[in-house]
Structure 1
Amino acid sequence: MIRVLVADDQALVRAGISALLGAEEDIEVVGVASDGIEALALARSTRPDVACLDIRMPGLDGIEVARALCGPDADPAVPALMLTTFDLDDYVFGALEAGASGFLLKDADPDTIIGAVRQVAAGNGTLDHQLTKRVLREFVERRQLQPVTGARADDLLTAREHDVLLLLAQGLSNEDIATELVVELSTVKSHVARILPKLGVRSRLQAVVWAYQNRVVLPPEA
Protein backbone atom coordinates (compact mmCIF):
# COMPACT_ATOMS: atom_id res chain seq x y z
CA MET A 1 0.00 0.00 0.00
CA ILE A 2 1.35 3.43 -0.98
CA ARG A 3 0.74 5.94 1.81
CA VAL A 4 0.25 9.49 0.51
CA LEU A 5 0.01 12.97 2.01
CA VAL A 6 -1.86 15.61 -0.01
CA ALA A 7 -1.19 19.30 0.66
CA ASP A 8 -2.92 22.15 -1.18
CA ASP A 9 -4.37 25.47 -0.03
CA GLN A 10 -7.44 25.11 -2.28
CA ALA A 11 -10.14 22.96 -0.69
CA LEU A 12 -11.56 21.75 -3.99
CA VAL A 13 -8.15 20.68 -5.30
CA ARG A 14 -7.32 18.95 -1.99
CA ALA A 15 -10.58 17.05 -2.08
CA GLY A 16 -10.25 16.14 -5.75
CA ILE A 17 -6.69 14.81 -5.53
CA SER A 18 -7.42 12.97 -2.28
CA ALA A 19 -10.52 11.32 -3.80
CA LEU A 20 -8.65 10.45 -6.99
CA LEU A 21 -5.78 8.77 -5.18
CA GLY A 22 -7.89 7.23 -2.41
CA ALA A 23 -10.03 5.41 -4.97
CA GLU A 24 -7.02 3.32 -6.03
CA GLU A 25 -6.67 -0.08 -4.34
CA ASP A 26 -2.94 0.34 -3.79
CA ILE A 27 -3.00 3.94 -2.49
CA GLU A 28 -4.06 5.25 0.93
CA VAL A 29 -4.30 8.97 1.72
CA VAL A 30 -2.93 9.23 5.27
CA GLY A 31 -3.03 13.00 5.63
CA VAL A 32 -4.53 16.13 4.08
CA ALA A 33 -3.08 19.60 4.74
CA SER A 34 -4.16 23.11 3.76
CA ASP A 35 -0.84 24.88 4.28
CA GLY A 36 2.86 24.19 4.40
CA ILE A 37 3.23 24.17 8.17
CA GLU A 38 0.44 21.62 8.55
CA ALA A 39 1.89 19.56 5.69
CA LEU A 40 5.32 19.39 7.31
CA ALA A 41 3.87 18.40 10.69
CA LEU A 42 1.66 15.70 9.13
CA ALA A 43 4.51 14.35 7.02
CA ARG A 44 6.71 14.00 10.08
CA SER A 45 3.99 12.29 12.09
CA THR A 46 2.59 9.96 9.43
CA ARG A 47 5.76 9.29 7.37
CA PRO A 48 4.00 8.84 4.02
CA ASP A 49 5.64 7.13 1.07
CA VAL A 50 4.91 10.18 -1.10
CA ALA A 51 4.06 13.79 -0.23
CA CYS A 52 2.01 15.50 -2.97
CA LEU A 53 2.72 19.18 -2.43
CA ASP A 54 1.27 22.32 -3.97
CA ILE A 55 4.04 24.85 -4.58
CA ARG A 56 2.16 27.98 -3.51
CA MET A 57 0.86 27.54 0.04
CA PRO A 58 0.64 29.87 3.06
CA GLY A 59 2.96 29.44 6.02
CA LEU A 60 5.60 27.45 4.16
CA ASP A 61 5.51 27.02 0.41
CA GLY A 62 5.80 23.59 -1.17
CA ILE A 63 9.46 24.06 -2.05
CA GLU A 64 10.35 24.79 1.59
CA VAL A 65 8.37 21.74 2.71
CA ALA A 66 10.07 19.58 0.06
CA ARG A 67 13.50 20.81 1.17
CA ALA A 68 12.70 19.82 4.76
CA LEU A 69 11.31 16.42 3.74
CA CYS A 70 13.74 15.28 1.04
CA GLY A 71 16.64 17.73 1.01
CA PRO A 72 20.20 16.81 1.98
CA ASP A 73 19.52 17.12 5.72
CA ALA A 74 16.33 15.02 5.72
CA ASP A 75 16.67 11.69 7.50
CA PRO A 76 14.68 9.67 6.76
CA ALA A 77 13.58 11.38 3.57
CA VAL A 78 9.99 11.56 2.34
CA PRO A 79 9.81 11.71 -1.50
CA ALA A 80 7.95 14.78 -2.77
CA LEU A 81 5.79 15.09 -5.88
CA MET A 82 5.09 18.73 -6.71
CA LEU A 83 1.68 19.56 -8.19
CA THR A 84 1.05 23.09 -9.42
CA THR A 85 -0.88 25.21 -11.89
CA PHE A 86 2.32 27.09 -12.64
CA ASP A 87 4.99 25.97 -15.08
CA LEU A 88 7.37 28.87 -14.46
CA ASP A 89 10.97 27.74 -14.63
CA ASP A 90 11.95 29.08 -11.21
CA TYR A 91 9.30 26.90 -9.57
CA VAL A 92 10.51 23.82 -11.43
CA PHE A 93 14.14 24.59 -10.65
CA GLY A 94 13.33 25.30 -7.02
CA ALA A 95 11.50 21.99 -6.69
CA LEU A 96 14.38 20.06 -8.24
CA GLU A 97 16.98 21.84 -6.13
CA ALA A 98 14.92 21.13 -3.01
CA GLY A 99 15.20 17.41 -3.77
CA ALA A 100 11.72 16.75 -5.16
CA SER A 101 11.29 13.48 -7.06
CA GLY A 102 8.67 14.76 -9.49
CA PHE A 103 6.87 17.77 -10.90
CA LEU A 104 3.45 17.76 -12.57
CA LEU A 105 0.99 20.40 -13.65
CA LYS A 106 -2.41 20.09 -11.98
CA ASP A 107 -4.15 19.88 -15.33
CA ALA A 108 -2.44 16.55 -16.01
CA ASP A 109 -4.96 13.80 -16.63
CA PRO A 110 -5.92 11.60 -13.65
CA ASP A 111 -4.04 8.54 -14.90
CA THR A 112 -0.86 10.62 -15.21
CA ILE A 113 -1.16 11.86 -11.61
CA ILE A 114 -1.86 8.37 -10.28
CA GLY A 115 1.01 6.94 -12.31
CA ALA A 116 3.35 9.67 -11.05
CA VAL A 117 2.55 8.83 -7.43
CA ARG A 118 3.34 5.18 -8.11
CA GLN A 119 6.55 6.09 -9.91
CA VAL A 120 7.76 8.32 -7.08
CA ALA A 121 6.84 5.70 -4.47
CA ALA A 122 8.89 3.17 -6.44
CA GLY A 123 11.92 5.48 -6.35
CA ASN A 124 11.53 6.79 -9.88
CA GLY A 125 11.41 10.47 -10.77
CA THR A 126 8.85 12.06 -13.05
CA LEU A 127 8.45 15.36 -14.89
CA ASP A 128 5.47 16.58 -16.88
CA HIS A 129 6.22 15.67 -20.48
CA GLN A 130 5.52 19.24 -21.56
CA LEU A 131 8.29 20.52 -19.31
CA THR A 132 10.99 17.88 -19.54
CA LYS A 133 13.16 19.13 -22.42
CA ARG A 134 12.92 22.81 -21.50
CA VAL A 135 13.52 22.14 -17.83
CA LEU A 136 16.58 19.97 -18.36
CA ARG A 137 18.08 22.33 -20.91
CA GLU A 138 17.56 25.51 -18.90
CA PHE A 139 18.37 23.88 -15.56
CA VAL A 140 21.79 23.00 -16.92
CA GLU A 141 22.42 26.36 -18.53
CA ARG A 142 21.16 28.54 -15.67
CA ARG A 143 21.80 26.46 -12.55
CA GLN A 144 25.16 24.76 -12.98
CA LEU A 145 25.55 23.66 -9.37
CA GLN A 146 28.27 21.11 -10.05
CA PRO A 147 31.64 21.51 -11.78
CA VAL A 148 30.91 20.92 -15.45
CA THR A 149 33.03 17.98 -16.43
CA GLY A 150 31.95 14.57 -17.67
CA ALA A 151 35.13 13.13 -16.16
CA ARG A 152 33.46 13.32 -12.74
CA ALA A 153 31.22 10.40 -13.68
CA ASP A 154 34.25 8.29 -14.62
CA ASP A 155 35.85 9.14 -11.28
CA LEU A 156 32.77 8.29 -9.25
CA LEU A 157 31.12 5.40 -11.10
CA THR A 158 32.12 2.02 -12.44
CA ALA A 159 31.80 1.47 -16.20
CA ARG A 160 28.51 -0.40 -15.79
CA GLU A 161 27.11 2.23 -13.40
CA HIS A 162 28.04 4.84 -16.00
CA ASP A 163 26.08 2.87 -18.61
CA VAL A 164 23.06 2.73 -16.30
CA LEU A 165 23.25 6.50 -15.65
CA LEU A 166 23.24 7.21 -19.40
CA LEU A 167 20.14 5.07 -19.83
CA LEU A 168 18.45 6.74 -16.86
CA ALA A 169 19.08 10.08 -18.55
CA GLN A 170 17.28 8.77 -21.63
CA GLY A 171 14.20 8.17 -19.49
CA LEU A 172 14.37 4.38 -19.48
CA SER A 173 12.72 2.40 -16.68
CA ASN A 174 14.56 -0.26 -14.71
CA GLU A 175 12.88 -2.90 -16.86
CA ASP A 176 13.98 -1.19 -20.08
CA ILE A 177 17.53 -0.80 -18.79
CA ALA A 178 17.66 -4.50 -17.90
CA THR A 179 16.56 -5.36 -21.43
CA GLU A 180 19.05 -2.94 -23.01
CA LEU A 181 22.00 -4.25 -20.97
CA VAL A 182 20.81 -7.89 -21.01
CA VAL A 183 20.93 -8.23 -17.23
CA GLU A 184 18.48 -9.13 -14.48
CA LEU A 185 16.11 -6.47 -13.16
CA SER A 186 17.54 -6.95 -9.67
CA THR A 187 20.99 -6.13 -11.04
CA VAL A 188 19.76 -2.82 -12.43
CA LYS A 189 18.11 -1.95 -9.12
CA SER A 190 21.38 -2.68 -7.33
CA HIS A 191 23.30 -0.42 -9.73
CA VAL A 192 20.81 2.43 -9.24
CA ALA A 193 20.98 2.00 -5.47
CA ARG A 194 24.76 2.39 -5.62
CA ILE A 195 24.72 5.29 -8.09
CA LEU A 196 22.54 7.62 -6.00
CA PRO A 197 24.80 7.92 -2.92
CA LYS A 198 27.91 8.14 -5.10
CA LEU A 199 26.45 11.19 -6.83
CA GLY A 200 25.11 12.63 -3.57
CA VAL A 201 21.48 12.54 -4.76
CA ARG A 202 18.31 10.96 -3.40
CA SER A 203 16.30 10.09 -6.50
CA ARG A 204 16.58 8.94 -10.08
CA LEU A 205 15.40 12.36 -11.23
CA GLN A 206 18.17 14.04 -9.28
CA ALA A 207 20.67 11.61 -10.85
CA VAL A 208 19.44 12.62 -14.31
CA VAL A 209 19.81 16.31 -13.44
CA TRP A 210 23.35 15.58 -12.18
CA ALA A 211 24.17 13.87 -15.47
CA TYR A 212 23.06 16.92 -17.46
CA GLN A 213 24.77 19.39 -15.13
CA ASN A 214 28.05 17.55 -15.52
CA ARG A 215 27.71 17.13 -19.28
CA VAL A 216 27.70 13.35 -18.98
CA VAL A 217 24.84 13.74 -21.43
CA LEU A 218 24.06 16.86 -23.49
CA PRO A 219 20.96 18.98 -22.79
CA PRO A 220 18.04 18.36 -25.15
CA GLU A 221 17.65 20.70 -28.09
CA ALA A 222 14.91 23.29 -27.96
Structure 2
Amino acid sequence: MNAAPVKPNKDFLKLLTEMGISEQIAEHALICTGNDSVEAAMTFLYDNPEVDYSELSVLTNAEQGDSLSGENVRIDKEEKVLMSEAAGEIHVEQKHGSREHHFDEYDEQFKMVFAVNISLNMGTGKIAAQVAHACLGLYNKLLQKNEAAVDVWLSEGEKKIVLKAVDHVHLKELQKKGESHELISYLVQDAGRTQIPAGSCTVLALFGDIATVDEVTGNLSLL
Protein backbone atom coordinates (compact mmCIF):
# COMPACT_ATOMS: atom_id res chain seq x y z
CA MET A 1 0.00 0.00 0.00
CA ASN A 2 1.42 3.36 -1.05
CA ALA A 3 2.02 6.02 1.59
CA ALA A 4 0.06 9.26 1.37
CA PRO A 5 1.78 11.94 -0.76
CA VAL A 6 3.83 14.47 1.16
CA LYS A 7 2.48 17.99 0.82
CA PRO A 8 4.17 21.16 2.13
CA ASN A 9 2.47 22.71 5.15
CA LYS A 10 0.56 25.67 3.68
CA ASP A 11 1.05 27.91 6.73
CA PHE A 12 4.81 27.26 6.79
CA LEU A 13 5.00 27.73 3.01
CA LYS A 14 3.28 31.13 3.29
CA LEU A 15 5.76 32.33 5.94
CA LEU A 16 8.76 31.19 3.89
CA THR A 17 7.59 32.83 0.67
CA GLU A 18 6.85 36.06 2.56
CA MET A 19 10.53 36.09 3.57
CA GLY A 20 11.48 36.17 -0.12
CA ILE A 21 12.13 32.46 -0.68
CA SER A 22 10.70 31.10 -3.91
CA GLU A 23 7.73 28.78 -3.55
CA GLN A 24 9.55 25.91 -5.28
CA ILE A 25 12.56 26.09 -2.95
CA ALA A 26 10.34 26.52 0.12
CA GLU A 27 8.30 23.43 -0.84
CA HIS A 28 11.49 21.42 -1.28
CA ALA A 29 12.84 22.45 2.14
CA LEU A 30 9.56 21.67 3.91
CA ILE A 31 9.27 18.24 2.31
CA CYS A 32 12.89 17.41 3.13
CA THR A 33 12.36 18.35 6.79
CA GLY A 34 9.05 16.52 7.11
CA ASN A 35 7.06 19.76 7.55
CA ASP A 36 8.60 20.03 11.00
CA SER A 37 8.74 23.84 11.21
CA VAL A 38 9.75 27.01 9.36
CA GLU A 39 12.94 27.07 11.41
CA ALA A 40 13.83 23.52 10.35
CA ALA A 41 13.25 24.42 6.70
CA MET A 42 15.44 27.53 6.99
CA THR A 43 18.19 25.52 8.67
CA PHE A 44 17.99 22.92 5.88
CA LEU A 45 18.41 25.62 3.21
CA TYR A 46 21.34 27.14 5.07
CA ASP A 47 23.05 23.78 5.61
CA ASN A 48 22.56 22.64 1.99
CA PRO A 49 23.74 25.54 -0.18
CA GLU A 50 25.12 23.11 -2.77
CA VAL A 51 21.67 21.97 -3.93
CA ASP A 52 21.02 23.09 -7.53
CA TYR A 53 17.53 24.50 -7.14
CA SER A 54 17.40 25.51 -10.79
CA GLU A 55 17.05 21.81 -11.60
CA LEU A 56 14.53 21.12 -8.86
CA SER A 57 11.23 19.66 -9.97
CA VAL A 58 8.75 18.82 -7.24
CA LEU A 59 6.42 15.99 -8.21
CA THR A 60 2.70 16.42 -8.53
CA ASN A 61 0.50 14.63 -6.02
CA ALA A 62 -0.33 11.96 -8.57
CA GLU A 63 3.33 11.33 -9.31
CA GLN A 64 4.14 11.22 -5.61
CA GLY A 65 1.36 8.70 -5.05
CA ASP A 66 2.90 6.42 -7.66
CA SER A 67 6.47 6.79 -6.45
CA LEU A 68 6.24 6.94 -2.64
CA SER A 69 7.09 3.74 -0.87
CA GLY A 70 8.10 3.25 2.76
CA GLU A 71 10.57 5.97 3.69
CA ASN A 72 11.64 7.04 0.20
CA VAL A 73 10.30 10.30 -1.20
CA ARG A 74 11.40 11.28 -4.71
CA ILE A 75 11.89 15.04 -5.11
CA ASP A 76 13.12 15.00 -8.70
CA LYS A 77 14.26 12.44 -11.25
CA GLU A 78 17.72 11.96 -9.77
CA GLU A 79 17.32 12.77 -6.08
CA LYS A 80 15.81 10.66 -3.31
CA VAL A 81 15.37 12.06 0.15
CA LEU A 82 14.87 9.81 3.18
CA MET A 83 12.00 10.88 5.34
CA SER A 84 10.02 9.30 8.14
CA GLU A 85 6.70 7.66 7.29
CA ALA A 86 5.23 9.90 9.96
CA ALA A 87 5.81 12.83 7.62
CA GLY A 88 3.63 11.20 4.98
CA GLU A 89 0.45 12.78 6.24
CA ILE A 90 0.41 16.11 8.03
CA HIS A 91 -2.70 17.42 9.74
CA VAL A 92 -2.67 21.19 10.22
CA GLU A 93 -4.95 22.63 12.85
CA GLN A 94 -6.09 26.16 12.06
CA LYS A 95 -5.72 27.74 15.49
CA HIS A 96 -7.52 30.94 14.61
CA GLY A 97 -10.18 29.63 12.26
CA SER A 98 -13.07 29.78 14.72
CA ARG A 99 -12.02 32.88 16.64
CA GLU A 100 -14.28 35.91 16.58
CA HIS A 101 -12.71 39.07 15.21
CA HIS A 102 -13.42 42.44 16.79
CA PHE A 103 -11.49 44.81 14.55
CA ASP A 104 -13.60 47.84 15.41
CA GLU A 105 -11.96 48.18 18.84
CA TYR A 106 -8.70 49.26 17.19
CA ASP A 107 -8.16 52.47 15.25
CA GLU A 108 -4.43 51.81 14.80
CA GLN A 109 -2.59 49.83 12.19
CA PHE A 110 0.15 47.49 13.36
CA LYS A 111 3.47 46.27 12.08
CA MET A 112 6.34 43.97 13.05
CA VAL A 113 9.95 45.14 12.83
CA PHE A 114 13.13 43.06 12.92
CA ALA A 115 16.44 44.67 13.89
CA VAL A 116 19.41 42.57 12.78
CA ASN A 117 22.77 42.69 14.57
CA ILE A 118 25.08 43.52 11.65
CA SER A 119 28.24 43.34 13.79
CA LEU A 120 28.01 39.53 13.64
CA ASN A 121 28.53 39.53 9.84
CA MET A 122 26.02 36.72 9.39
CA GLY A 123 25.47 35.24 5.94
CA THR A 124 22.22 35.76 4.07
CA GLY A 125 20.86 32.33 4.96
CA LYS A 126 21.80 32.75 8.61
CA ILE A 127 20.05 36.13 8.78
CA ALA A 128 16.94 34.66 7.17
CA ALA A 129 16.87 31.83 9.71
CA GLN A 130 17.33 34.23 12.63
CA VAL A 131 14.56 36.52 11.39
CA ALA A 132 12.34 33.44 11.11
CA HIS A 133 13.16 32.58 14.74
CA ALA A 134 12.27 36.13 15.77
CA CYS A 135 9.04 36.19 13.79
CA LEU A 136 7.75 32.91 15.21
CA GLY A 137 8.88 33.74 18.74
CA LEU A 138 7.18 37.13 18.72
CA TYR A 139 4.04 35.77 17.05
CA ASN A 140 3.60 33.09 19.72
CA LYS A 141 4.18 35.70 22.43
CA LEU A 142 1.59 38.00 20.84
CA LEU A 143 -1.03 35.26 20.85
CA GLN A 144 -0.75 35.20 24.63
CA LYS A 145 -0.52 38.95 25.23
CA ASN A 146 -2.61 40.70 22.58
CA GLU A 147 -4.49 38.28 20.36
CA ALA A 148 -6.94 40.91 19.12
CA ALA A 149 -4.11 43.11 17.80
CA VAL A 150 -2.69 40.08 16.00
CA ASP A 151 -6.03 39.61 14.24
CA VAL A 152 -5.97 43.22 13.06
CA TRP A 153 -2.36 42.85 11.88
CA LEU A 154 -3.22 39.69 9.95
CA SER A 155 -6.23 41.35 8.35
CA GLU A 156 -4.08 44.27 7.17
CA GLY A 157 -1.52 42.17 5.32
CA GLU A 158 0.97 41.41 8.13
CA LYS A 159 3.24 44.45 7.68
CA LYS A 160 6.88 43.56 8.34
CA ILE A 161 10.22 45.33 7.85
CA VAL A 162 13.86 44.31 8.45
CA LEU A 163 16.34 46.92 9.71
CA LYS A 164 19.99 47.21 10.78
CA ALA A 165 21.16 47.37 14.40
CA VAL A 166 24.78 48.19 15.22
CA ASP A 167 25.48 45.43 17.77
CA HIS A 168 24.03 43.49 20.71
CA VAL A 169 24.14 46.57 22.94
CA HIS A 170 22.07 48.44 20.38
CA LEU A 171 19.55 45.57 20.26
CA LYS A 172 19.09 45.64 24.02
CA GLU A 173 18.74 49.42 24.03
CA LEU A 174 16.04 49.15 21.36
CA GLN A 175 14.29 46.43 23.34
CA LYS A 176 14.30 48.55 26.49
CA LYS A 177 13.06 51.60 24.59
CA GLY A 178 10.38 49.55 22.86
CA GLU A 179 9.09 48.06 26.09
CA SER A 180 8.99 51.54 27.67
CA HIS A 181 6.65 52.46 24.80
CA GLU A 182 4.56 49.33 25.49
CA LEU A 183 5.75 47.49 22.38
CA ILE A 184 5.96 43.70 22.60
CA SER A 185 9.44 42.34 21.90
CA TYR A 186 11.31 39.10 21.32
CA LEU A 187 15.12 38.89 21.32
CA VAL A 188 16.79 35.92 19.62
CA GLN A 189 19.95 34.45 21.13
CA ASP A 190 21.62 31.96 18.82
CA ALA A 191 22.38 28.38 19.87
CA GLY A 192 25.85 28.68 18.34
CA ARG A 193 25.64 25.71 15.96
CA THR A 194 26.81 27.66 12.90
CA GLN A 195 28.80 30.83 12.14
CA ILE A 196 28.52 32.65 15.47
CA PRO A 197 29.15 31.95 19.19
CA ALA A 198 26.39 30.52 21.37
CA GLY A 199 24.35 33.17 23.14
CA SER A 200 24.91 35.84 20.48
CA CYS A 201 22.02 38.29 20.23
CA THR A 202 21.10 38.18 16.55
CA VAL A 203 17.68 39.73 15.94
CA LEU A 204 15.21 41.81 17.94
CA ALA A 205 11.56 41.66 16.90
CA LEU A 206 9.16 44.44 17.92
CA PHE A 207 5.40 44.73 17.43
CA GLY A 208 2.95 47.54 17.97
CA ASP A 209 1.01 50.31 16.30
CA ILE A 210 2.89 51.83 13.38
CA ALA A 211 3.35 55.29 14.90
CA THR A 212 4.91 53.92 18.09
CA VAL A 213 7.11 51.40 16.28
CA ASP A 214 8.38 54.19 14.02
CA GLU A 215 9.12 56.35 17.05
CA VAL A 216 11.39 53.61 18.41
CA THR A 217 12.99 52.36 15.17
CA GLY A 218 12.49 55.21 12.70
CA ASN A 219 16.18 56.17 12.68
CA LEU A 220 17.37 52.69 11.66
CA SER A 221 18.40 51.88 8.09
CA LEU A 222 16.88 49.13 5.97
CA LEU A 223 18.90 45.93 5.85
Q: Do the structures match in fold with TM over 0.5?
A: no
Q: Where is the helix percentage greater, Structure 1 or Structure 2?
A: 1
Relative contact order (alpha carbons < 8 A, sep ≥ 6): 1 or 2 greater?
A: 2
Larger radius of gyration: 2
Give the TM-score of the pair, scaled to structure 2: 0.26
TM-score (norm 1): 0.26
